[in-house]
Structure 1
Amino acid sequence: MPLMPSPTKTSFPIRCAGMDVGSNALRLAIAEFRSPTQYEILERVRAPVRLGESVFKTQRIDPATMEAALDAFRSFRRKMEQHGVVVHRAVATSATREAKNRAAFLERVRSETGLDLELIQGTEEARLVALGVKTKISLERGLSMILDVGGGSSEIALVGHGEILIVESHDVGAVRLLDRAGKGSPEKLLKMIHATLRSARFPILDYFKRRKLQRLVGTGGNIETIATLASTNGAAKGSGSERPPTRVTVPRLRKLLSQLAKLSPAERVEHFGFKADRADVIVPAGAIFEYVATRVRAREIWVPFVGLVDGVLIDVAQAAGAEGMKQLEVSQTRNAAVAILKKYDPEPKHAQRVSTLAASLFDQLKPMHGLGKRDRLLLEIAALLHEVGNFIGPNGHHRHSFYIIAQTPILGLTDDELMIVANVARYHRKAPPDMSHEGYRDLSEGDRERVRVLAAILRVADALDHDHRQRVTAVRAKQRGSELRLKLRTRGDMTLDEWSVGDKGDLFQGEFGLKPVVSGRE
């Protein structure tokens, strides 16, 4: 049965909402978009519900916190209805992701408020933050680093000439650091936080021992509060989320941290007007920014006053109304896959050629399979990574590929898409998809069908470079009766290609009802 692509087009102007279900607070932003890049914020709401406080101690969302979160979501839902929101996206980060009772929490949110929370990995969080940052700060020149410090984790994205190159996610966040540091005087806590940071591994920071960083960008409510404090000489009047970007010098940051560390959270509220749920975490968050800035030798931190919720808004608008606006994100996803390929395969030319041939076959067979652009991207990535399992060993390398891909977040892919890619890569050889296979069995029925179709195409593409010599540079496919005839643009003899396509064509014949055969040169 053909599978139909799912995107729905919506015309502008359109009202969208984004929700960030974080470890320290829940945030809602509602905006009217005149185009995928032009919008006006209509309302922002922050609910001080600290999911991470119980999760990082007990691995569960406690009953009182769950009820507070549900109350906040009901309020968010009413706000969305009042503003006439058409589309929305709600993302949940580390605290919800790590909670052992997350399934019960997600189900209660869905049944009692009608909202679907999407659990995202750190790589997706970093991508969304970068979308928001780009609306305020140009990242087109040189190397930029975006550091987003949340309650449970910190995401670091390295951006080169406007494209995300590397993403790292670390379970070092303000609430988690505060919990690890324990109790004691504020100054003692700061020393313990510094010790914790020095023991943490941030591989991406080593990249700048001999390289120059153009700019360090900081996001999150804590650095916004610090920036506001730095610019108003002692009166922190909120983040000023629609403010233009500002900069905080690293010496000024250190001085403020030293001043704040001498005060208790209650004294910070009294002296600076901090919110209670900001007063205790601002020092550990600031320490993370100071540590990273020192490691990369940054003199200042740019603060754009945007965050994850802004990126979610933009992503919603682009998905709803302008598929073409996602081209940059698609290219970044491909780049991320190529980076993983090169990490595991010192000779990536075979995988790159197979990916090109698979994409070509996908396009030519579109009338038969009915899949969309997103499925094409998943096929390309699966083709790029289908042999990374050789890094572990050649025997059963298709299964090794599955496990490596399934455990390696890829920028721009959802968890479900990552599992599709892992399964397609697994089935590039040997046994076809089967319900006895755990990774395949766990997919939805629609995703299982996608895997079968994409794996069938991948097997044929892989067969066309069986000897890993990239002799076949192009393929043209045409149906003739019960056969799919392949004309090849190739160098040298085609005997091996004919045998290999015949040997690996069973899955394709089963899915498409056509036997693939090499019929000559193009």
Structure 2
Amino acid sequence: MKNGIFGIINIGSSAIRMQISEFKNSKERILESIVTPIALGLDTFEKGYISLEKAKETAQILSKFAKKLDEYKIWGNYKAICTSAVRDAQNKYFFINYINAKTQLDIEIIEETHEMYIKYLGIMHDIKNFDKLSQEGLLLAYLSSGSLSLSIKAGDVDLFNSVFNSGSLRQYLLFKDINSSIRFKAYEEQMGKIISTLKQNCNELSKIKHMVGCGSSINLLVKVLKPKSNKITYKALNTLYKSIKSSEPQAISQMYSISLNDGNIIVPIVCSFSYLLKMLNLDGFLFSNATFPNQLMNYYSKSFKEKSVNKKILNQVVAYSKKYNNDLKHAKKVLHFANRLYNQLKNIHSMSQKEKMILDCACVLHDVGYYIGVNNHHQHSYYIAKSINIPGIDKEIIDYVAASVLFHRNKAKIESEDELLSAPIEKILSLKKIISLLKIADALDASHMQIIEDIDIEVSENQVKITAIALKIPFLEELTFKNKSTDFLETFGIEPKLYIKLKHE
């Protein structure tokens, strides 16, 4: 957003927050920032649902926020976002419907990975020399009331991403019936389990040289520890932990002049960060002061932008595929052929950059299912692609990639899938375009031996002539091309023909 006023509403676990900002020449000026406490997380994390009483209280708060939208005339320029307190509630859809009926606000539940991505962008813009830290190996720890999200980065690749239901409030509620003098041992077991999962799924932890903390927990740590810079040391954390771990929350709140609610959650917060630092053998971590509403504001107003997003996503998908012993030589050759087809046939296919990204990801993942079994490997590839959990790749794109992977074999047909029969024609056409190019690209390396080095493409009125420069006669490629090129003809109405040119003729 270059100029204008934008509003953000964040429905969190312990409060509902609103930020209204004015942008002039891409510069932000915060006009209002409102925080109204409400413990939705207490309901969800303890009972599994949001009570009607809390829903009514939420509606009253949001009705006041809606008046702010009237005041600033920004009903068409706001986002209202829910995180884990609503996302994890059994009655989340009733809650959203109830709020909409009472306030006319459109509420969105943000997916965990998308929430992680927005926080990552916020940290990237807030922490000095972030790119350098990332290149050297970086753990991002987002600790909120409801969850602990961990992302391990090395260069442009994520080594690990996961969201654990181990937020500070959730941990307290889970173990609150344990005597406070030994409750810390339960927190330590919880963190021990998380660290065991990390070690099992990421064998490069020794390469991580830095850690950055973020989330609602940081404000409380800063208030208690009063660090002189944006770094909290392990020594300070450990000293604090030893002094409070066996104490009653009320005693902690009096000792540090914090609320009783903060006294309840300070021990799991300190335990979480201490254990992560100890695992990495680091002397401390940097922290970001940016609030989630501010991160949301900059994301949805398009103030935050990441360079070379599609390239980074593809790198992430390649790294993901390595877990399944993917034949990367074949995958990269198929990707090369698909790029050639995409670039040379733009006047025919009219595909968007988003569709190009889906095609690229499908080229990388179409054969990962061989890791599970040779028979019906396309189905295995589908489930592996569907399981992608990478911040920055939204669910819609993952669904498209998974479907493209499933249908890259002639054995699978779009028309036979019930869930696609009622899909919008635009989605079916988009899939058909992607699959048509993927099938031809895959056929051109059917032997997985890279016999065909490159291709030239010429388009006439009734034919797409693909000349393959080959090291030797590609028997399997010719046969597979004949079987797989039908989709292209049926989708674009023009026949692709393969001609072989031996490189050393």
TM-score w.r.t. the length of structure 2 is 0.87
* CA–CA distance in structure 1, aligned partners of residues 422 and 258 of structure 2: 47
1:48 to 34, 37, 41: 37
Q: Give the superposition deviation at 1:368.
A: 3.1
Task: Indicate how the Cα distance of structure 1 residues 74 and 383 shifts in structure 2: closer, same or farther if over 3 A, else same.
Answer: farther
**1:203-231: CA deviations, max 9, x gaps?**
44575887253321111122222123211
* CA–CA distance in structure 2, aligned partners of residues 51 and 484 of structure 1: 60
2:494 alignment counterpart: 514
Q: Point out the more displaced range, 400-409 or 16-25.
A: 16-25
2:468 alignment counterpart: 488
1:348 alignment counterpart: 328
Q: Give the superposition deviation at 1:133.
A: 0.9
**1:455-484: CA deviations, max 9, x gaps?**
122111111111112233443444323332
* 2:373 counterpart of 1:366: no
Task: Indicate how the Cα distance of structure 1 residues 157 and 503 shifts in structure 2: closer, same or farther if over 3 A, else same.
Answer: same
* 2:281 counterpart of 1:297: yes
* 2:182 counterpart of 1:188: yes
Q: Give the superposition deviation at 1:439.
A: 5.2
**1:10-64: CA deviations, max 9, x gaps?**
6x1344444444434443334344566x544443333433333222334322222
Q: What amino acid maps onto 1:131 in structure 2?
A: L
Task: Decide whether the 8 Å contact of 2:406 with 2:412 is kept in 1.
Answer: no
1:216 alignment counterpart: 211
* 2:126 counterpart of 1:143: no
Task: Decide whether the 8 Å contact of 1:125 with 1:308 is kept in 2.
Answer: no
SS in structure 1 of the partner of residue 468 of structure 2: strand
1:461 alignment counterpart: 441
1:331 alignment counterpart: 311
* 2:221 counterpart of 1:226: yes
Task: Decide whether the 8 Å contact of 1:354 with 1:461 is kept in 2.
Answer: yes
* CA–CA distance in structure 1, aligned partners of residues 203 and 130 of structure 2: 18
* CA–CA distance in structure 2, aligned partners of residues 474 and 69 of structure 1: 61
2:383 to 390, 394, 403: 403
* CA–CA distance in structure 2, aligned partners of residues 513 and 377 of structure 1: 24
Q: Point out the more displaced range, 72-81 or 123-132.
A: 72-81
* CA–CA distance in structure 1, aligned partners of residues 70 and 312 of structure 2: 35
Q: What amino acid maps onto 2:32 in structure 1?
A: E
* 2:114 counterpart of 1:124: yes
* CA–CA distance in structure 1, aligned partners of residues 248 and 427 of structure 2: 53
Q: Give the superposition deviation at 1:154.
A: 0.9
Q: Give the superposition deviation at 1:365.
A: 3.1
* CA–CA distance in structure 2, aligned partners of residues 374 and 245 of structure 1: 41
2:191 alignment counterpart: 197
Q: Give the superposition deviation at 1:286.
A: 2.2
1:47-196 correspondence runs (5 A): 47-83=36-72, 85=74, 87-111=77-101, 112-121=103-112, 123-137=113-127, 138-141=129-132, 142-161=136-155, 164-196=158-190
Q: Give the superposition deviation at 1:185.
A: 4.0
Q: What amino acid maps onto 1:101 in structure 2?
A: N
* 2:485 counterpart of 1:505: yes
* CA–CA distance in structure 1, aligned partners of residues 80 and 344 of structure 2: 36
Task: Decide whether the 8 Å contact of 1:125 with 1:155 is kept in 2.
Answer: no
Q: Give the superposition deviation at 1:247.
A: 1.5
SS in structure 1 of the partner of residue 151 of structure 2: strand
* 2:430 counterpart of 1:450: yes
Q: Give the superposition deviation at 1:315.
A: 2.6
Task: Decide whether the 8 Å contact of 1:222 with 1:278 is kept in 2.
Answer: no
> How many residues of Structure 1 are paired with residues of Structure 2 in the alignment?
495
SS in structure 2 of the partner of residue 145 of structure 1: strand
Q: What amino acid maps onto 1:66 in structure 2?
A: A
**1:262-321: CA deviations, max 9, x gaps?**
554445555544345433222212211111111111211212212444433333233xx8
Q: What amino acid maps onto 1:451 in structure 2?
A: L
* CA–CA distance in structure 2, aligned partners of residues 82 and 183 of structure 1: 46
* CA–CA distance in structure 1, aligned partners of residues 359 and 247 of structure 2: 55
Q: Give the superposition deviation at 1:385.
A: 0.8
2:238 to 254, 260, 275: 254
Q: What amino acid maps onto 1:230 in structure 2?
A: L
* CA–CA distance in structure 2, aligned partners of residues 435 and 510 of structure 1: 13
Q: Give the superposition deviation at 1:390.
A: 1.2
**Cα RMSD between the aligned structures?**
3.1
Structure 2: gaps of 5 or more residues: none
1:6 alignment counterpart: none
Q: Give the superposition deviation at 1:152.
A: 2.3
Q: Give the superposition deviation at 1:342.
A: 0.6
Task: Indicate how the Cα distance of structure 1 residues 76 and 356 shifts in structure 2: closer, same or farther if over 3 A, else same.
Answer: farther
Q: Point out the more displaced range, 57-66 or 258-267.
A: 258-267
* CA–CA distance in structure 1, aligned partners of residues 273 and 221 of structure 2: 11
Q: Point out the more displaced range, 405-414 or 436-445.
A: 436-445
Q: What amino acid maps onto 2:417 in structure 1?
A: H
Q: Give the superposition deviation at 1:372.
A: 1.7
Q: Point out the more displaced range, 269-278 or 145-154.
A: 269-278
* CA–CA distance in structure 2, aligned partners of residues 348 and 69 of structure 1: 51
TM-score w.r.t. the length of structure 1 is 0.84
Compare relative contact order (CA 8 Å, sep 6+) and give the higher one, 1 or 2.
Answer: 1
Task: Decide whether the 8 Å contact of 1:433 with 1:440 is kept in 2.
Answer: no
SS in structure 2 of the partner of residue 29 of structure 1: strand
* CA–CA distance in structure 2, aligned partners of residues 473 and 307 of structure 1: 51
